[in-house]
Structure 1
């Protein structure tokens, strides 16, 4: 299957919410309005799509053409995420990956790495010092921890969130200029 990474469009929002919901608890559940806000405030909002189902010449793309997405934010937003606030207080010049999601059945196929390549490229273009994210350690998400480790992320902190129901490892990957 041939894929391509492209900007998220308004037409993608329902699919993004669907993919996001299918990935809970690895990501927080959000509704369409919250997704629209995040996409609208993201420094980078890209989707990875099945190129065969996303042929622009064919008109409206197939509803499941979007196989995954990433939303990355810059510092300075009025955003209530506990993890985003933690990184903001840390003071580093960063690009924060608020969520990266790949559809079930398409994981371990390089799609997440392709999405992160887009994040790293954008962060370097902005002159950011690092890319930051978090991964659940309670409930555990060992696959995501291993994936982020392979990409060069290291733990820089840990915090309890969601009223103590979740513990996250706060991860950062320095960027070389």
Structure 2
């Protein structure tokens, strides 16, 4: 048998309206109690009066504060987890960029070595980006070589100056 539909309308008589509110509040509190007992869940109920009086709180004010704080803490943890995931993704992107640069440099080295031994290999190099990357890599290699030469010269000059003059 289908449920009957209740027509909700404003109750004109204030005393009857307050009695209906009191019964409804009592019913809601009973349902919350059943939900927490049989459903094995934490729940609280806070209802503010229209006139601004003290709120109706179930099961107790302290328990309601505890549950509301627990709710906000779980919300903060979810936000932190999302932020941690965003940080993780940023780090992963940075790692992938670094790996890409390493692979690109390996490719350029292989291409240069191939070019040294095969005269026709230069025809494969057509892209400006490839040529500029090769130039940059050669400049870096040149700087490293110059630094090594200067270091070798500096170490040889200090070793010759430390010898006594008559020897």
Q: TM-score, normalised by structure 2?
A: 0.25
Structure number with larger C-alpha Rg? 2
Q: TM-score, normalised by structure 1?
A: 0.24
Question: Quick check: which one's strand share is greater?
Answer: 1
